[in-house]
Amino acid sequence: MRYVVLDIETTGLDLRKGHRIIELGAVAVEEKTIIDHFASLINPNKKIPRNAQKIHHITDEMLTGQPCPEEVFPKFQDFIKYSTLVAHNAPFDVAFLRHEFHRLHLDLNHPYICTLDLSRRRFPDLSNHKLSTVYRHLFRDRPNIFQAHRALDDARMVAAIWLAMEGK
């Protein structure tokens, strides 16, 4: 069984306002081990609002010369072929991915697992269920080596959380 644990960064939180994916990071997991990764900045030719930049620190300048959605998403479709997707707040990430895939006449019908939902059920007494909070709860003694709000590092963090919660 192949799982692809993913994370995205966007220009905002609302598809209806035209927000787009600007970074995609993913790791492929088979038999409890990360076997491959996929990462790309994406230039949708859309300005990144300041409030979004404050969260992920991705600037318009960083997207200059980066591949466009038409280059990235077909490659990502090949990467996730026959996989179950895993993400923290998966409905959000999957909705954005479906939107981008639909724009390119690609299908995204993969089943998915949401580590946010899993963490809420498993750890109801946490003060919140943000990715960093759940990671610190599970890995108190392990230093956090991940850069928050960058897609590949967040995907790696989600993978560690998911594998720990599933006892894998």
Active site residues: 149
C-beta separation of 108 from 73 below 8 A: no
- DSSP code at position 13: S
Q: Report in angstroms the alpha-carbon separations of 55 from 48, 49, 51, 105, 168.
A: 11, 10, 7, 30, 31
Report residue 122 CA to chain centroid gap. Answer: 21
Which residue's structure tokens are 């409905």?
91
CA distance 123 to 136: 12
C-beta separation of 157 from 149 below 8 A: no
